[in-house]
């Protein structure tokens, strides 16, 4: 039996995150690099029931989609792959972004900490970068600029676009696999039904 988190968990910093490209044969999660900030907004749908023009009831449910904005310093090979800059026909070591670039779908996992160092695991199983590459170079700057990317979040086969769990509530096997072998199945019990 795992313990339950009984205190407030305030998301304070993200120290460890990784990405796995979903459509590649390799199931390896690659470390992202140094994350500066991450901001998520998950979508919902509200259904309203009216009677004679008066709202009698509203029901709000998750839409299974959302958006995440992230600022970071990223591993270059991962950056090139996410933006589809590794096009066929280019010389080795040359990358290009244009009409032949197709952004790849990926899974993002991370460890978020509160101000006391407690860990919460997060995962977005199906994402793609929804913006093109955007970088800023400042001559004489005193700080190396982070890149900013916006991810679109899509529902997985269970209808979820985001998973999270405080480390204290996870069994050891799930904790070990979250950052290196995450799949939506890792989070499910045997009686869960797959959405069509």
Question: Distance (Å, rounded) from C-alpha 59 to C-alpha 46?
Answer: 6
- Is residue 193, in this structure, part of any structural domain at all? no
Mean pLDDT of 92-107: 95
- Is residue 5, in this structure, part of any structural domain at all? no
What would the two tokens of residue 193 be? 């039904």
| DSSP letter (8 states) at residue 105 | P
| Residue 152 pLDDT exceeds 90 | yes
Looking at residue 138, its pLDDT comes to 85
CA distances from 22 to 28, 40, 76 (A): 10, 21, 18
First to last CA, the chain: 32
Looking at residue 135, its pLDDT comes to 83
| Residue 1 pLDDT exceeds 60 | no
Q: Is 77 helix (H, G, I), strand (E, B) or coil?
A: helix
- Is residue 159, in this structure, part of any structural domain at all? yes
| Residue 108 pLDDT exceeds 90 | yes
- Is residue 8, in this structure, part of any structural domain at all? no
Q: What is the mean pLDDT of the chain?
A: 90
- Is residue 7, in this structure, part of any structural domain at all? no
CATH number at residue 110: 2.30.110
- Is residue 6, in this structure, part of any structural domain at all? no
Tens-place pLDDT, residues 123-136? 999 999 999 998 88
Looking at residue 191, its pLDDT comes to 64
- Is residue 108, in this structure, part of any structural domain at all? yes
Number of domains in the chain: 1
User: What confidence tier does 141 reach under pLDDT thresholds 50, 70, 90?
Assistant: confident
- Which residues span the domain enclosing 68? 13-136+143-187
Looking up tokens 């998973």 gives 163
| Residue 76 pLDDT exceeds 80 | yes
- Is residue 84, in this structure, part of any structural domain at all? yes
Tens-place pLDDT, residues 12-43? 899 899 999 998 676 789 998 789 999 999 99
């Amino acid at each position: 039996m795992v313990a339950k988190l009984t205190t407030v968990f305030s998301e304070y910093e993200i120290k460890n995150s990784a990405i796995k490209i979903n459509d590649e044969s390799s199931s390896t999660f690659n470390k992202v690099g140094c994350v500066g900030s991450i901001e998520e907004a998950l979508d919902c749908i509200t259904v309203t029931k009216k009677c004679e023009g008066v709202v009698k009831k509203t029901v709000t449910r998750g839409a299974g989609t959302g958006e995440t904005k992230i600022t970071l310093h990223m591993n270059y090979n991962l950056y090139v792959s996410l933006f589809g800059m590794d096009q066929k026909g280019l010389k080795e070591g040359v990358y290009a972004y244009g009409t032949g670039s197709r952004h790849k779908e990926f899974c993002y996992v991370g460890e978020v900490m509160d101000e006391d160092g407690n860990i919460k695991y997060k995962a977005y199983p199906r994402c793609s970068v929804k913006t093109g590459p955007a970088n800023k170079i400042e001559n004489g700057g005193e700080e190396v600029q982070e890149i900013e990317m916006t991810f679109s979040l899509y529902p997985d086969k269970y209808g979820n676009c985001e998973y999270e769990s405080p480390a204290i509530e996870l069994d050891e096997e799930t904790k070990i696999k979250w950052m290196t072998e995450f799949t939506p199945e890792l989070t499910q019990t045997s009686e869960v039904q797959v959405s069509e």
